[in-house]
Every structure is written in C-alpha cells, then in structure tokens.
Amino acid sequence: MVNTINRWLSKVITVLTSAMLVIMVLVALWQVVSRYLLNDPSTFSQEFLRYSLIWITMIGGALAFHTKKHIAVEMVTNRFSPGLQKTAHFAVLAFLILFSIIVMIYGGVWLVSLTMSQQTVSLGIPMGYIYLSLPTSGVLILWFCISELINASAGTPHDFDQTLDV
C-alpha cells in the first residue's frame, strides 16, 4: 500500500514539475520575443519564472529525496559496520522528520499565514501562495521519510521506479 502511494505520488510530482518546466520555457521564450522583437517587454514573465522555479525546486527536491537522486555524503557512514549504518540511517530519518515538521511545515505554515495579505507586484497573487511550496514539500518529505521507516522496519526494500514511467 505504501509503495503504491509512493509510486502514484512520484508520477504526479513528475508530471506536475515537467508541465511547469514546459510552461516556464514557453514563458521565457515569450519574454525574449516580447523584449527583442516587439520592443515591449513582458511585465509578468520574470516574476512568473522566479516563482515557478521556487515551486519546481521545492517539489522536485522532495521527489529527489524519495528516489535517492539528491546529493548524499556517505563517505563517513560507509566506513561503519552494517549495524551502525542502519542506526545512522534511522537517526538521519528521525532528524529529517523533525526538520520537515518544525522548519518546513510549521515554519512554512507560519510564513504562508504571515504573507497571505501581501501581493506580488506583476502577477497580483498573494505571496502566501509562493511560500506554500515550503509546507507542501515538507509534507511530501515527511511522508517519504515515514514510508521509508515503514518499509525498513517491515524489511521491505525501498521501491521506486528508476525511470518513473509516466
């Protein structure tokens, strides 16, 4: 059940971030065309690209964590015995769970509520929607950490598609 949810989440995140990337490329192309060919620079494109990049980075970071594609420094832990490596892995997961709850979710929700009354300059949307990427990715990372703990305690291997077929 957990692995089914993880595969579904991975596919949804992949589709969303891919679609956002395609839209960003089109908006960047429009920015170049409007600036250099039409001599009338687009007013929304730079702000849209900046905020889209924030969302892609945060959500994509959660996916990278789940699929083990993030940067990991294993030089120290690889020198430990297998039992100590397992303990270190659980300690790291516990730290990540605390970090995602306290900093990303709790702090992110506080930041969203604090900035919901502010609006972006060009797009005119509440800044809270931009900062919503923080608690969203925090919830995803929390889920992926908990699912990894469940799989590890059950002796189930970490299951994800390397290619993420969509």
Res 79: pLDDT: 82
Q: Pick the closest to residue 66 from 11, 133, 122, 134 (CA basis).
A: 11
Summarised one tens digit per residue, pLDDT across range 53-103 is 999 999 999 999 898 887 776 777 778 888 888 888 888 889 999 999 999
159: confidence class by pLDDT, cuts 50, 70, 90: low
Q: Say which residues have a Cβ less than 8 Å from residue 87's Cβ, sequence separation at least 6.
A: none
Residue 163 domain-assigned (yes or no): no
Contact 55, 133 (CB under 8 A): yes
Say whether pLDDT at 163 is over 60: no
Summarised one tens digit per residue, pLDDT across range 104-130 is 999 999 999 999 999 999 999 999 999
Res 108: pLDDT: 96
Domain with 109, as residue range(s), is 2-154
Res 130: pLDDT: 96
Residue 159 domain-assigned (yes or no): no
162: confidence class by pLDDT, cuts 50, 70, 90: very low
Q: Pick the closest to residue 68 from 160, 149, 166 (CA basis).
A: 160
Residue 47 domain-assigned (yes or no): yes
Residue 98 domain-assigned (yes or no): yes
SS3 145: helix
Number of domains in the chain: 1
CA 42 to chain centre: 28
Residue 166 domain-assigned (yes or no): no
77 vs 46, more confident: 46
Say whether pLDDT at 158 is over 60: no
